[in-house]
Amino acid sequence: MSGVRLGQLLLALDATLVSLVEAPRGLDLPVASAALLDREDIQLGVAPAFGSADVFFLLGIDHPDTIRWLDQHGRSPVAIFAKHPSPEVIRRATRAGIAVVAVEPRARWERLYRLVDHVFDHHGAGSAHDSGTDLFGLAQSIAERTRGMVSIEDAESHVLAYSASNEEADELRRLSILGRAGPPEHLAWIARRGIFDALHAKPDPVRVAERPELGLRPRLAIGIFAATGDTRRAPAFLGTIWLQQGDRPLAEDTEEVLRGAAVLAGRLITRLTAKPSGHAVLVQDMLGLTGDPPEIEAISRELGIPATGRAAVIGIDSTTEGTRLADVLALSASAFRPDAQVAAAGGRVYVLFPDAGKGLPSWVRSTVSALRTELGLELRAVTAAQLEGLAGAAAARAEVDRVLDSAARRPGSLAAITSPAEARTTVLLDEIVTMIAADGRLVDPRIRALRADEPVLAHTLTVYLDSFGDVASAAAALHVHPNTVRYRVRRIEGILGASLAEPDVRLLMTLSLRATA
């Protein structure tokens, strides 16, 4: 992850999101890492040390807590980002040589975190204005060429990059960059006019009229598509380039510029999507996700984390489609521990804590609860904790995957938050049943016939076996008289030609019933 200068970072983020308050050591200091800090970190005494990151985002921390945190540490970070920094916080930080950056109050922290992370990974020295390698550079190049203001969004309308804003930026542009939804009446109007449909249909510029009553200026937009050599298959829609017009008219050849820009943006987004950052690849290596044996010492040095200690691996699955789960979890995990490492693979997200600490179970519970409440996400989380160093991370991740795979196959069989140890019985039994189901020779044919010919008896047998042969319990579960259960059991034994009093028979029938359920 190559470092950028503080000034470069602030220019990339734009005055829409942040504004510099003080920079006592200037803007040329290198920055390459960010950490999040919330009030609970300070109150619980688990706030990250200054040396763990170059810049800190202060989430919802009041004046006294911020002062206390600033006074606790000797080494100073490069900068702190805060909403409404008080005069006393500014004085204390400046005296310690820390730059203070004010964050727009309406900005979403997760948007700011994602953009900063993108800048660190793809906007380093030498690429800040290279439209062939960076989306921010491409956006700025389009803006300079067309005399407008550009934002590039992905397929889910998340802003990936944008050009510099000026006083001519309208409310829709500002809200989009801040991570907030635009005026609902305007979005509904765009939908009614078929503009979204046109953008998804083909890579041709689409004009969006101004809305003076809403303070919105005219725009041009064009869809971004993935290049494909298969003419029989429609290219995948990757996102949109939005060009807001200011006081000056757009360049005469703006539409042609946008067509070329859409091609370049398609290549960049495809490349960034297909190839994770170097940091992400290292974390994937550590977790054994790349297939190569991890070189723990080398990877830990590269990531700047200790190879020894009480580590933990958490795997999280979402049953909610279309969720940028990795981004959301990276925000929460980094707020909890600045050395947290996040990787995604196959729609599943993994969080590695080199030093888990005592608050891990509480973090997992609060994160799952908060994402359910605030974003409507239904999550499954599996924690493998107290590993003896990072050498066990890959094996722990594999055990976590076993539990998540089992939970996906048998919804409701496991708690939403569990561990490999807590889930061992359920997972092993599920894996045994899954193996039996995959090989028809291992399923008793008498059970298949019973299910096909006598489904009521098959259900009765399942309940009877799950009740450990207790007739009264089975009758209560089936809502029938105990004599009815006794009669059905005798019929089942006659059809099977076996006695259910035999332990081996009960075991075989139970496994076959579960494998054919």
**Which of 68-82, 298-312, 372-386, 428-442 shows the lowest mean pLDDT across its residues?**
68-82
Asked if 126 and 4 count as a contact pair (C-beta separation under 8 A), the reply is no
Cβ within 8 Å of residue 389, ≥6 positions away: 296, 307, 308, 309, 311
CA-only gyration radius of the chain, Å: 29
Q: What angle do CA 409, 415, 421 make, to 5 degrees?
A: 90
Burial (CB count within 10 angstroms: exposed 0-12, middle 13-18, buried 19+), residue 207? exposed
- CATH number belonging to domain 439-515: 1.10.10.2840
Task: Parse the chain into domains and list their residue ranges.
Answer: 4-124, 135-273, 278-434, 439-515
pLDDT in tens, 314-337: 999 886 654 567 767 876 787 677
C-alpha separations of 516 from 21, 187, 328, 478, 502 in Å: 67, 49, 39, 20, 21
Distance CA 102, CA 18 (A): 6
- Distance, first Cα to last Cα, the chain: 50
| Rounded average pLDDT over 62-75 | 73
Distances (CA, A) of 486 to 455, 461, 470, 483, 493: 17, 11, 10, 5, 11
Cα separation, 290 vs 273, in Å, equals: 16
Using DSSP bridges, classify how beta strands 417-418 and 379-388 pair: parallel, antiparallel or unpaired: parallel
Tell me the residue ranges of DSSP E strands in 60-158.
79-82, 99-103, 148-154
Q: Which residue has the higher pLDDT, 120 or 196?
A: 196
Question: Where in 281-340 does DSSP place strands (E)?
Answer: 310-318
**Domain 278-434, architecture per CATH:** 2-Layer Sandwich (3.30)
Phi and psi at residue 255, to the nearest 5°:
-65, -40
DSSP assignment letter at 202: -
Name the token pair of 113: 């975190």
Name which CATH class applies to 135-273: alpha beta
Helical segments of 96-201, H only: 109-122, 135-146, 171-178, 184-192, 195-201
- Closest C-alpha among 244, 174, 165, 187 to residue 210: 244
pLDDT tens, 363-415?
A: 899 888 877 876 677 889 999 888 888 989 999 999 999 999 999 888 888 99
| Percentage of the chain lying above the pLDDT 70 cut | 88
Within this chain, domains 4-124 and 278-434 share the same CATH topology: no
Q: Class for domain 4-124, per CATH?
A: alpha beta
Q: Over the stretch 148-193, which tens digit does the pLDDT of each residue have?
A: 999 998 887 778 888 887 778 888 888 877 776 666 777 778 778 8
